[in-house]
Amino acid sequence: MASVVLKDVRKSFDRAEVVHGISLDIAHGEFIVLVGPSGCGKSTVLRIIAGLEDATAGEIYIGERKVNDVQPMDRDIAMVFQTYALYPHMTVFNNMAYGLKLRGYSRADIRAAVEEAAGILNITELLARKPSQLSGGQRQRVAMGRCIVRKPQVFLFDEPLSNLDAKLRVQMRMEIKKLHERLQTTIVYVTHDQVEAMTLADRIVVLNAGNIEQVGSPGDLYNHPLSGFVAGFIGSPAMNFIGCRLLDGPGAPAVQLNGGPRLPVPADREERYRPYVGREMRFGLRPEHLTDQQHPHAAASPASFSARIEAIEPTGMDTIVYFTMDTTLVAARVSPEVVRRAGDTVTLTAAMHHMHLIDPATDKVV
């Protein structure tokens, strides 16, 4: 395994720069996920690491070696694509063995490597089949096995699960997680699915319009986003954002939500927020931190208010209710044990120690 280092990497197409000076250090054996919306540059960065795209500027290192001018086949990486890219006329065994044959491995070494990889991925019984005889999940395992047999320093995954159905995606996420724990190889994984990113990554790199917004563990990004973009992108259901004004006293500052209640600022944030008193801001709170009451005296909380339900989404474990505050649709997570209908009024309490205050001029969390 090896580290991967990007230093001020840029990429332009037809004079339009799409990757704007990205710098990133990926440690030996680390599972890094590049995540972001379509067009943010994540696949371009992955292809630059692989050598399938040339960087317009900047330096790329795999291990101690600078690889800007090294051909893809000589970078000691292996890549799993979204489309599997299996040879349809070859058996599973030959698909997995093909790269080793090109490198001049002996038949005995090839068989040993293929059988070892097939055992890791539980596809030993499929080795004699053709790709047309396999399910989507089985084909993706074969594509992964083709990479494993080479024992590369770095695995690159380009949205490998996007063609699978929801149940199979969950299963394959666990397969990839177990694979990393077993092999301890450096993995750089691209996805637009933030749930994949949260469940797989040691660290997540959130990209936005060719720039890195934030790098951190899944917990850091979920609980301590640095920008409104990250706060809104990470988490499902998405974070609520409501326009507000920060008011002073009497006593502590308070958040006056547009079209909604006045809510107290947590005591440990009073000094931090005081410079923003009087300013128009954005208030952020996740649906699980806006909940119905579970005890009789909770309605007396200064962070409680009533809302009229407009829509309901039962999810089994929880129920998500929606209501409008000013012109903003807001989601709250309520107990599924209480039957509610559109038009009902519910009392909600905001867990203000989980709130985020965002400067609309910079999109930064203050």
Cis bond before residue 302 (omega within 30° of 0): no
Q: What is the pLDDT of residue 293?
A: 67
CB 84 within 8 A of CB 70: no
Q: How far apart are CA 289 and CA 233, in angstroms?
A: 17
Q: What is the pLDDT of residue 137?
A: 86
| Lookup: tokens for 344 | 């009902």
For 96, what's the count of Cα atoms within 13 Å in the CB-facing half-sphere? Answer: 35
Q: What is the pLDDT of residue 295?
A: 45
Query: Helices in 128-249 by DSSP H: which ranges?
Result: 136-148, 166-183, 194-200, 218-223, 228-233
Please state the φ and ψ torsions of residue 302, each to the nearest 5 degrees. -65, -10
- In 3D, which of 290, 338, 294, 289 has the Cα closest to residue 314? 338
> Cα dihedral sign for 231, 233, 235, 237?
positive
Q: How far apart are CA 210 and CA 40, in angstroms?
A: 5
SS3 content of the chain, % helix, strand, coil (to 5): 30, 35, 35
Question: pTM here?
Answer: 0.90
What are the CB-based long-range contacts (under 8 Å, 24+) for 233-238?
A: 233/35, 233/36, 233/37, 233/194, 233/206, 234/194, 234/197, 234/198, 234/204, 234/206, 235/194, 235/286, 236/194, 236/195, 237/286, 237/287, 237/320, 237/331, 238/331
pLDDT tens, the chain, 366 aa long: 689 999 999 999 988 999 999 999 999 999 999 999 999 999 999 999 999 999 999 999 999 999 999 999 899 999 998 888 899 999 999 999 998 998 899 999 999 999 999 998 889 999 999 999 998 889 988 998 999 998 899 999 999 888 888 888 888 888 889 889 988 899 999 999 988 999 999 999 999 999 999 999 999 999 999 999 999 999 988 999 999 999 987 667 899 999 999 999 988 898 899 899 999 999 999 999 999 865 444 444 678 999 999 999 998 888 999 999 989 999 999 988 888 899 999 999 999 999 999 999 999 999
List, in order of start, the domains of the chain with CATH numbers.
4-228 (3.40.50.300), 240-365 (2.40.50.140)
Q: How far apart are CA 254 and CA 273, in angstroms?
A: 10
- In 3D, which of 256, 264, 240, 255 has the Cα closest to residue 324? 240
Q: In what order do the strands lie in the sheet with 254-257?
A: 262-264, 254-257, 240-247, 280-285, 356-359, 364-365
Q: What is the pLDDT of residue 294?
A: 57
- The DSSP annotation for 18-79 comes to EEEEEEEEE-TT-EEEEE-STTSSHHHHHHHHHTSS--SEEEEEETTEE-TTS-GGGS-EEE
In angstroms, how far is CA 123 from the centroid of its own chain?
A: 28
> Cα dihedral sign for 58, 64, 65, 67?
negative
Burial 42-53 (b: 16+ CB within 10 A, else e): bbbbbbbbbbeb
Q: How far apart are CA 2 and CA 95, in angstroms?
A: 26
Q: What is the pLDDT of residue 365?
A: 96
Q: What is the pLDDT of residue 299?
A: 45
Q: What is the pLDDT of residue 203?
A: 97
Identity of residue 81: F
